[in-house]
Amino acid sequence: MLKGTVKWFNNEKGFGFITGEDMVDYFVHFSGIAGEGFKTLEEGEAVTFEVSEGKKDLWQRKLPK
């Protein structure tokens, strides 16, 4: 499990980026956020996540919410 901070997240488009503790920016899509209902992240929010390779070589995250 990696730790990071939400760099930004666009609710209308359903995606954003997380900056990991390794200083790498990771793409995140709302479909990778755990939980029910409306899925969003707030800028500056601390998160833990797993990295997996997705379509078109984009990195998808599994985020516990």
**Hey, where are the domains in the chain?**
2-62
* Structure confidence at residue 54 (pLDDT): 64
* Structure confidence at residue 31 (pLDDT): 86
* Structure confidence at residue 33 (pLDDT): 86
What CATH number does the domain located at 2-62 have? 2.40.50.140
pLDDT in tens, 3-24: 999 999 999 999 999 999 999 9
Residue 56 burial class via C-beta count within 10 angstroms: exposed 0-12, middle 13-18, buried 19 and up: exposed
39 versus 10: the higher-pLDDT residue is 10
- For residues 23-52, give the mean pLDDT: 88
Q: pTM (2 decimals)? A: 0.77
CA 45 remoteness from chain centre: 10
CA distances to 1, 15, 29, 37, 57 from 6, rounded to whole Å, are 15, 11, 12, 20, 21
